[in-house]
Structure 1
Amino acid sequence: MQVREFKDTDRTQLRALFERAGQGAPTESLWGHTDSEAAVYLDPYMDREPASLFVAEDAGKLVGYLTGCVNTAAFPGEDARIAEALRRYRPFRSRQAVAFFGRSTFDVLGAKIRRRTTAGELTDPQWPAHLHINVASEARGTGAAAGLMNLWFDRLRTERVPGCHLQTLVENGRAAKFFERMGFTPHGATPQVPGLRYRGARVHQLTMVRSF
């Protein structure tokens, strides 16, 4: 197992890994359209901040990756990335996409009526960096995830970044425990994530932070 910096020649293999790495997790599939989902959660990191992207490789095959951003405030926000991806790819011929965004609208309206917040991004100068990490099922428990995180931590220290945050799900207990082992602690409320369901139930955002 080798963990290393992303290279531009990894693009095709990394894109294929994006499609399968989250299998079994609550966020395995969002609206069921890989091109538009990658345009939100993978492509901008390859294009805008490749120095903050790391991969895990086993016998020449990519089995995990970490996408990062050292300054969230300077990176296009998630809502803007989703809007652009939907405009570009128009995935609404998929029944899953229609259902996802229909539920999302319903969830947001319901939260407003109940005067509750829904999931959103964290922008805080204490923890300006953020990350996403995915490891394929065959590489879980091998140390690949920890290796990716440690490379990311080295980059943050080199860039003198004071802290980092990530967002996972309360319902993804395995991920939360891993992040705690890597030094992250829960931060703030745990609002509902609009549109997303896991085993038929609503899910809730868990924000975690780590200082350096």
Structure 2
Amino acid sequence: MEIRGFTESDRDELRALARRAGAGSPTESLWGHADSEAAVYLDPYMDLEPGSLFLAAHDGALVGYLAGCVDSAAFPSEEQRMDQAIRRYRLVFRRGPAAFFARAVLDTLRAKFRGQPTAGDFTDPRWPSHLHINVAAEARGTGAAGALMARFLEHAAASGSPGCHLQTLVENTRAVRFFERTGFDRLGPEPLVPGLRHRGSPVHQRTMVRSL
């Protein structure tokens, strides 16, 4: 297993990996449109901070990646990236995404009526770095995910970051256990993620942090 940095020649293969790496997880697909989801959770990291993007390769083929950011305050927020993707891909006019966003609006209104929190961006100067990690099914249990995590955390610490955060789902218990094994602690409440469903049920956001 090789852990290395991203190069521009990896772009197409990495996008293809991102489409299949989350298979079976609660976030396998958010609103059913791969290109716009990549525009939120992958492309900005290739375009704006490629030095914090690390890849796992086996026999020359990509099997995992970690898209990271050392200073989230200097990076477009998830909300900003999502707004841009909605406009660029005209998602409100696409059947699957439109249904997702309509459900998200209803979920948000219900939560507000009930006084329940909903998921959102996380900002705290104690943990300014953040990451997204994905490993294909064939590479799980090989140590690829742990090696990717170690490489990024070393990079963030060397860049002067005091800490890192990530956001996953409460219902993604495999991911939560992995992050805990790599030194992350749970932080804060478990707000509803508007619009998203897993096996027909609502899901909830889990914020986790680690000091460097």
Query: What TM-score do you get using the length of structure 2 for normalisation?
Result: 0.98
TM superposition shift of 1:94: 3.6
Q: Counterparts of 2:57 and 2:76 in 1: how far apart (Å)? A: 29
TM superposition shift of 1:8: 1.1
1:209 is aligned to 2:209? yes
| Identity across matched positions, percent | 62
Letter of the 1:192 counterpart: L
**Residue 161 of structure 1 corresponds to which residue in structure 2?**
161
**Residue 180 of structure 1 corresponds to which residue in structure 2?**
180
| Secondary structure of the corresponding residue to residue 190 of structure 2 | coil
Q: Counterparts of 2:36 and 2:11 in 1: how far apart (Å)? A: 16
**Residue 44 of structure 1 corresponds to which residue in structure 2?**
44
Q: Counterparts of 2:92 and 2:188 in 1: how far apart (Å)? A: 34
**Residue 127 of structure 2 corresponds to which residue in structure 1?**
127
Q: Counterparts of 1:3 and 1:94 in 2: how far apart (Å)? A: 37
Instruction: Write out per-residue CA displacement over residues 113-160 of structure 1, whole angstroms, 9 at most, x where no aligned residue.
Output: 112210011110000000000000010000000010011011012112
**Residue 5 of structure 1 corresponds to which residue in structure 2?**
5
Letter of the 2:4 counterpart: R
Contiguous gaps of at least 5 residues in structure 2: none
TM superposition shift of 1:93: 4.5
Q: Counterparts of 2:143 and 2:183 in 1: how far apart (Å)? A: 16
Q: Counterparts of 2:99 and 2:108 in 1: how far apart (Å)? A: 14
Instruction: Write out per-residue CA displacement over residues 53-77 of structure 1, whole angstroms, 9 at most, x where no aligned residue.
Output: 0000011110100000111111111
Q: Counterparts of 1:12 and 1:203 in 2: how far apart (Å)? A: 31
CA RMSD of aligned residues (A): 0.9
| Secondary structure of the corresponding residue to residue 178 of structure 1 | helix
Answer with 87-96 or 114-123: which moved more: 87-96
1:112 is aligned to 2:145? no
**Residue 14 of structure 1 corresponds to which residue in structure 2?**
14
| Secondary structure of the corresponding residue to residue 32 of structure 1 | coil
**Residue 98 of structure 1 corresponds to which residue in structure 2?**
98
Q: Counterparts of 1:22 and 1:77 in 2: how far apart (Å)? A: 22
Contact 1:192 1:202 in 2 (8 A): yes
Contact 2:79 2:121 in 1 (8 A): no
TM superposition shift of 1:95: 2.6
Contact 1:32 1:94 in 2 (8 A): no
Q: Counterparts of 2:66 and 2:169 in 1: how far apart (Å)? A: 17
| Secondary structure of the corresponding residue to residue 68 of structure 1 | strand
| Secondary structure of the corresponding residue to residue 167 of structure 2 | strand
Contiguous gaps of at least 5 residues in structure 1: none
**Residue 31 of structure 1 corresponds to which residue in structure 2?**
31
Query: What TM-score do you get using the length of structure 1 for normalisation?
Result: 0.98
Moved over 6 A (4+): none
